[in-house]
Chains A and B, each alone.
Chain A
Amino acid sequence: MELFNFQTPSSVAELLIAKANTNAWLLAGGTDLIPQLKEGRRKADLVIDIKKIPAMNGISELEDGTLRIGAAVSATAIAQNVDAIRSYAALASSVALIGSRQVQNRATLGGNVCNAAPSADAIPALICYDAMAEIEGAEGKREILVEDLFTGPGRTQLNPTEVLISFLLPLQSERTAAAYQRFTPRREMDIAVAGVGSRISLDADGKIIAARVALASVGPTPLRAASAECVLMDESPSSQLFEEAGVAAAQDASPISDTRGSAEYRRHLVSVLCKRTLASATNELLQDTWT
């Protein structure tokens, strides 16, 4: 690791001034950044700790029912937050998959998203809930869908002056459920070979009126499986339907072969996990009244 300067701003305004420096990197939990610096995969002149900035460190419910989660909130805090557990269970359970207890105590949602690993476990759930990212930089504020943030492995839309302040999770309709599952050879301390998040919303007749299927580790960025969602729309949940959605999702994936798995196996895993997450979400809504 090479030498760098270190700052701990206490407001977003101070943060933005510091971030205007060239080659400044934010440190949230540091569970991605520190190994990258140590192994020489990233060089920083300035490292800015954001854990002391109130606007980035709380979870609150807004008037319209939106849940706002600060970018520097830890995985543990999200996994234990009652609002998150009740209304965004797929997110609460997916952050609890990150690394280990110790890693979760440090790791943040903003870090998981801004590190932009295709394998990041919290992103599919955020996409499923149509989460927005609140961004601020030299040119002011903007909000964009988390889904649209990613431009490549480790790359986001954020320009060098911008930082991610918080996530906004819209209120979900009544009969909505979602689930995220990943496949890893080990039961913890592992990186997804493939991951799938699914959300369905049902109308009064039990028809699927909204569907999201988001994929991890099977493309250069987290992906939405548009054709799987098409398969689901306006249908009633059934194993047969989920089977078809799984097949479609596997086609939507564009995996590579690497040390964690072959492209072919990854596609297969996408279909399995797609089916399983849809079944899990449906069980939550209908218990076992469906087949």
Chain B
Amino acid sequence: MFEEIIAHADPHGDHDTIGRRLPRIDSGKRVTGEAIYPADFQLPGMVYAKLKRSPHPHAKIRSIDTSKAMELAGVLAVTTADDFPELEPGTAVPMGQGSCDVWMVGQINMARHKVFWVGQPVAAVAAIDLHIAEQALELIKIEYEVLDAVFSIDEATAPAAPALYDSMRTTGLDTPSNKPTNVCSRTVFKRGNSDSALANSDETVELSIKVDTAHQGYIEPQSVVAQHDRDGLTTLWVSTQGHFTTELVTARVLGIPQSKIRVVPLEIGGGFGGKVFIHGESVAAKLAEKCGRPVQLIFSREEVLQGGSGPTAALQGKLEIGASKDGVINAIKSRIHVDAGGLPDMNPGIILQVFAALYQTPNLFLEGFDVVTNKPRTEAYRAPGGIQAAFLMEQAIDELSQKLEMDPLEFRRRNASVTGSTMPAGTPFPSIGVLEIADAVAAHPCWTTPLKEGSMPRGRGLAFGYWRGTSMTSACHVTISGDGRPMFTLGSVDISGAHTSMAQVAAEQFQMSLDDVYVATGDSKSVGYTDIAAASRVTRTMAAAVIDASQAALAELKKRAANLMQLTAEELTYDHGSFRTANDNGPSMTVADVMKATLTQGAIICQGSSSNLPFGVEVGAHVCDVEVDKDTGQITVLKYTAFQDVGFALNPPAVEGQIEGSVVQGLGWAISEGFDYGSDGRLRNASLLDYRIPTALDVPSIDTVLLQKPVPGVPYGLRGVGEVPIVPVAACVANAVARAVGNRVTQMPMTPERVFKAMTAS
């Protein structure tokens, strides 16, 4: 039932390339180190940049004196915010379905007037070597007026809290207030009357949670090489999730026209949402312009963690949920606060969706606030907000099923959203397979095999995850080489195997082998605008663009073949690299011959683009077994199984890799990863020693079960894949822990100390 595959694309139905288990076409150069990242990239005469960062979490910048640094031999340029145009807060450029405030991105690159977190850049130098650059930083004299600071949601929302922005007023309040505040906005989703429905429920659960800020944990720190040539063109070699966005935003931050900047994406060593914004690219560009030499800027690990990059939002919230005796949910009510860090506008709407997607309820009241604090501006991380919200929602669901003495799978099934049910925003769900996943879990040994007893308490947890993902726009073009092979240029960078999956699609379209197609990412001047590689969108939307371009190129080839064969195009069919007539013994001509005869008569250049494809709604269910050391609180995850509806697995190992990687990231945050700020606003664990990403020894074997329920209207029925598998992880572990020891852990990460406290709290 789940293996139903709809491939709209190949009329012959012989899938030589799609749906097969293939290694990445470019894995060799990645594992040998041949692949070039910005840190490997060298230009003649290149010099080195370093950023001077704020030691204070909240301060006015009174003055900056760079003269001594400039005098140091070997220093070639120094820059501060004075070299950049002053933008108004709220200066928007389009980004995906929304917009991006370039004032904010400017502040991430270089603070002006005020600093809002420890580690925010305030000045930068370029020098002939890094030692000199480091010495020069110490010669830059900055006078600060230190201000009181807030480091948590509670501190920021306290009545007498110092305000980060004098002009901030909470938007979306029923009764607007005119007092400065650190609460940027209020977002509400509402239907029915949740208060009275809760009061009338047979069983209710109320749960409050707190989640610490965490980092995406990409292994490659932010890095860039910038060049400003004699003709006034700036070129950036970057590690980014979106070079078009980088170009757009950098041009605005620098105040230059986009005709004067080109962005070349090199390999990216992980992004997970953290390499959408720029974090120094504009500074490197400015230094390159000032000193007339190419400039390389590479962050250290400490810089990445101590304010140089955007981690992801801390969250705290409360949820109340009520159900009837027979297990039908009749109300969900939740209020959450999201810690945006030092710059405003981190709308919690996307997070609230998690509370109202998988399960239907007639009464709903969801309220989200985003709060500014004196910590680094947070950015996206794989299904941004999803894991935090599910930590609340899926624990509450589990607790409620325990109170109802109902199987947690059955309880979810009774309330599951189905195709056509109401989405959080009120519109009907496109194809969604919650029930199918529940069936798959119910039949699987990870759920049906009894949990073996151990020397310590053990428990089995279940949690579901939802993520909507998005589509946005993707573009590519194809030209046909002299030997008839298709050469594709894509607008997306390859963050998770896109080159391989697009080569599969192209090969399937042209009925050729993978070796016969060329696929590469174009720079920002050589291919059409494409949105960021994020939001589970690249494979789905770029596949549509590749198919579009392929069909157009094949049509043009057919026209040329028909001409050469003195037939009409209608008389020809395309079959594995040749055009032939319906008659088996009739004439045929290979695409190679077509191109041999027509190459010099004009290039074939065909473009493909896709925008606003139907959502590839992602649903997953996770099951895990844990053991809890009752003396220390340490959680050991014994076994982990992730079920996911992927629509269609274009390349199954790539899909499984996304799921396994997500689970590992989720386990890290669930158990050991969390930012720990001291009372001075400095991150106390700004190293990979104390910011504990799991090692191979900390992760159990992870099984993946792929379901394939296609999404209508999308090539091959592809769903988003890469985000939802992080969503249920922490809740899954928490539910297993609760069933093992009888206590809920409501703080994430669930460090041994926190678990121990939860177990020993009476």
Across the interface, B753 reaches (CB within 8 A) one of A2, A100, A262, A272, namely: A262
Provide the residues of chain A in CB contact with B671, threshold 8 Å: 185
**Does chain B have a CB within 8 A of A126?**
no
**Does chain B have a CB within 8 A of A269?**
yes
**Does chain B have a CB within 8 A of A52?**
no
**Does chain B have a CB within 8 A of A190?**
yes
User: Chain B's nearest CB lies how many Å from the CB of A49?
Assistant: 22
CA–CA, A268 to B755, complex, Å?
Answer: 14
A sample of 7 cross-chain residue pairs with beta-carbon separation below 8 angstroms, ordered by A number, consists of A39-B302, A183-B634, A183-B752, A190-B692, A261-B753, A265-B753, A272-B632
CB-based contact A186/B753 at 8 Å:
no
Knowing A2-B131, A262-B753, A265-B756, say if A185 contacts B689 (CB, 8 Å).
no
CB-based contact A186/B131 at 8 Å:
no
CA–CA, A121 to B302, complex, Å?
Answer: 25
User: Chain B's nearest CB lies how many Å from the CB of A290?
Assistant: 18
Given A183-B634, A189-B695: 18 more A-B contacts, CB < 8 Å? A1-B131, A185-B672, A186-B672, A186-B694, A186-B697, A186-B698, A187-B698, A188-B695, A188-B697, A189-B689, A190-B689, A191-B689, A259-B685, A262-B753, A265-B753, A268-B756, A269-B632, A272-B631
User: Chain B's nearest CB lies how many Å from the CB of A91?
Assistant: 22
Knowing A190-B689, A268-B756, say if A183 contacts B694 (CB, 8 Å).
no
**Does chain B have a CB within 8 A of A204?**
no
User: Chain A's nearest CB lies how many Å from the CB of B455?
Assistant: 12
**Does chain A have a CB within 8 A of B690?**
yes
CB-based contact A186/B676 at 8 Å:
no
**Does chain A have a CB within 8 A of B422?**
no
Interface residues of A in 257-280 (CB under 8 A from B): 258-262, 265, 268-269, 272
CA–CA, A185 to B635, complex, Å?
Answer: 9
Provide the residues of chain B in CB contact with A2, threshold 8 Å: 131
Q: Mark A168-205, 1 if CB is under 8 A from B, else 0.
A: 00000000000000010111111100000000000000
CA–CA, A39 to B751, complex, Å?
Answer: 28
CA–CA, A117 to B685, complex, Å?
Answer: 17
Provide the residues of chain B in CB contact with A262, threshold 8 Å: 753
User: Chain B's nearest CB lies how many Å from the CB of A182?
Assistant: 11
User: Chain A's nearest CB lies how many Å from the CB of B219?
Assistant: 14
Knowing A260-B690, A265-B753, A265-B756, say if A187 contacts B632 (CB, 8 Å).
no
User: Chain B's nearest CB lies how many Å from the CB of A39?
Assistant: 7
A3, A185, A189, A262: residue with the most chain B Cβ atoms closer than 10 Å: A185
Provide the residues of chain A in CB contact with B753, threshold 8 Å: 261-262, 265
User: Chain B's nearest CB lies how many Å from the CB of A44?
Assistant: 14
B residues near A (Cβ < 8 Å) are: 131, 302, 631-632, 634, 671-672, 676, 684-685, 689-690, 692, 694-695, 697-698, 751-753, 756
Provide the residues of chain A in CB contact with B689, threshold 8 Å: 189-191
CB-based contact A259/B684 at 8 Å:
yes
Closest 5 CB pairs of A and B: A187-B697, A259-B684, A272-B631, A265-B753, A259-B676
Provide the residues of chain A in CB contact with B698, threshold 8 Å: 186-187
Q: Mark A94-110, 1 if CB is under 8 A from B, else 0.
A: 00000010000000000
Interface residues on A, range: 20 to 34
Across the interface, A259 reaches (CB within 8 A) one of B672, B690, B752, namely: B690
Knowing A188-B697, A265-B753, say if A183 contacts B131 (CB, 8 Å).
no
Provide the residues of chain B in CB contact with A100, threshold 8 Å: 695
A residues near B (Cβ < 8 Å) are: 1-3, 39, 100, 183, 185-191, 258-262, 265, 268-269, 272
Provide the residues of chain A in CB contact with B695, threshold 8 Å: 100, 186-189
Find the B residue at minimum CB distance from A185: B672
Find the B residue at minimum CB distance from A183: B632
Provide the residues of chain A in CB contact with B631, threshold 8 Å: 272
Provide the residues of chain A in CB contact with B634, threshold 8 Å: 183, 185
CA–CA, A262 to B756, complex, Å?
Answer: 12
CA–CA, A259 to B634, complex, Å?
Answer: 17
> What is the predominant secondary structure among interface residues of chain B facing chain A?
loop
Find the A residue at minimum CB distance from B749: A185
CA–CA, A205 to B147, complex, Å?
Answer: 69
CA–CA, A188 to B689, complex, Å?
Answer: 10
User: Chain A's nearest CB lies how many Å from the CB of B537?
Assistant: 34
User: Chain B's nearest CB lies how many Å from the CB of A270?
Assistant: 11
CA–CA, A140 to B695, complex, Å?
Answer: 46
CB-based contact A186/B692 at 8 Å:
yes
Provide the residues of chain A in CB contact with B672, threshold 8 Å: 185-186
Provide the residues of chain B in CB contact with A191, threshold 8 Å: 689-690
Provide the residues of chain A in CB contact with B756, threshold 8 Å: 265, 268
CA–CA, A269 to B695, complex, Å?
Answer: 23
Provide the residues of chain B in CB contact with A188, threshold 8 Å: 695, 697
Find the B residue at minimum CB distance from A3: B131
Provide the residues of chain B in CB contact with A189, threshold 8 Å: 689, 695
CA–CA, A3 to B135, complex, Å?
Answer: 12
CA–CA, A39 to B131, complex, Å?
Answer: 12
Provide the residues of chain A in CB contact with B697, threshold 8 Å: 186-188
Find the B residue at minimum CB distance from A268: B756
CA–CA, A183 to B632, complex, Å?
Answer: 8
CA–CA, A2 to B134, complex, Å?
Answer: 10
CA–CA, A171 to B632, complex, Å?
Answer: 35
CA–CA, A58 to B689, complex, Å?
Answer: 31
User: Chain B's nearest CB lies how many Å from the CB of A215?
Assistant: 16
Provide the residues of chain A in CB contact with B692, threshold 8 Å: 185-186, 190
User: Chain A's nearest CB lies how many Å from the CB of B70?
Assistant: 21
Find the B residue at minimum CB distance from A100: B695
Provide the residues of chain B in CB contact with A259, threshold 8 Å: 676, 684-685, 690
CA–CA, A190 to B634, complex, Å?
Answer: 14
Find the B residue at minimum CB distance from A40: B134
CA–CA, A265 to B753, complex, Å?
Answer: 7
B671, B694, B752: residue with the most chain A Cβ atoms closer than 10 Å: B752
User: Chain B's nearest CB lies how many Å from the CB of A189?
Assistant: 5
User: Chain B's nearest CB lies how many Å from the CB of A20?
Assistant: 27
CB-based contact B684/A185 at 8 Å:
no
CA–CA, A262 to B694, complex, Å?
Answer: 22
Provide the residues of chain A in CB contact with B694, threshold 8 Å: 186
CA–CA, A187 to B690, complex, Å?
Answer: 13
Provide the residues of chain B in CB contact with A265, threshold 8 Å: 753, 756
Find the B residue at minimum CB distance from A189: B695
Provide the residues of chain B in CB contact with A268, threshold 8 Å: 756
User: Chain B's nearest CB lies how many Å from the CB of A253?
Assistant: 15
User: Chain B's nearest CB lies how many Å from the CB of A42?
Assistant: 15
User: Chain B's nearest CB lies how many Å from the CB of A36?
Assistant: 13
CA–CA, A269 to B629, complex, Å?
Answer: 12
CB-based contact B751/A258 at 8 Å:
no
User: Chain A's nearest CB lies how many Å from the CB of B485?
Assistant: 44
Find the B residue at minimum CB distance from A186: B692
User: Chain A's nearest CB lies how many Å from the CB of B463?
Assistant: 22
CA–CA, A3 to B129, complex, Å?
Answer: 12
CA–CA, A265 to B632, complex, Å?
Answer: 9
Find the A residue at minimum CB distance from B302: A39
CA–CA, A188 to B676, complex, Å?
Answer: 20
CB-based contact A185/B752 at 8 Å:
yes
Find the A residue at minimum CB distance from B754: A265
A1, A3, A265: residue with the most chain B Cβ atoms closer than 10 Å: A265
CA–CA, A88 to B410, complex, Å?
Answer: 56
Find the B residue at minimum CB distance from A2: B131
Provide the residues of chain B in CB contact with A190, threshold 8 Å: 689, 692
CA–CA, A269 to B3, complex, Å?
Answer: 51
Find the B residue at minimum CB distance from A262: B753
User: Chain B's nearest CB lies how many Å from the CB of A181?
Assistant: 11
A191, A261, A269: residue with the most chain B Cβ atoms closer than 10 Å: A269
Find the A residue at minimum CB distance from B686: A259
Provide the residues of chain B in CB contact with A3, threshold 8 Å: 131
CB-based contact A185/B751 at 8 Å:
yes
Provide the residues of chain B in CB contact with A187, threshold 8 Å: 695, 697-698
User: Chain A's nearest CB lies how many Å from the CB of B305?
Assistant: 12
CA–CA, A2 to B631, complex, Å?
Answer: 46
Provide the residues of chain A in CB contact with B752, threshold 8 Å: 183, 185
CA–CA, A269 to B631, complex, Å?
Answer: 8
CA–CA, A191 to B684, complex, Å?
Answer: 14
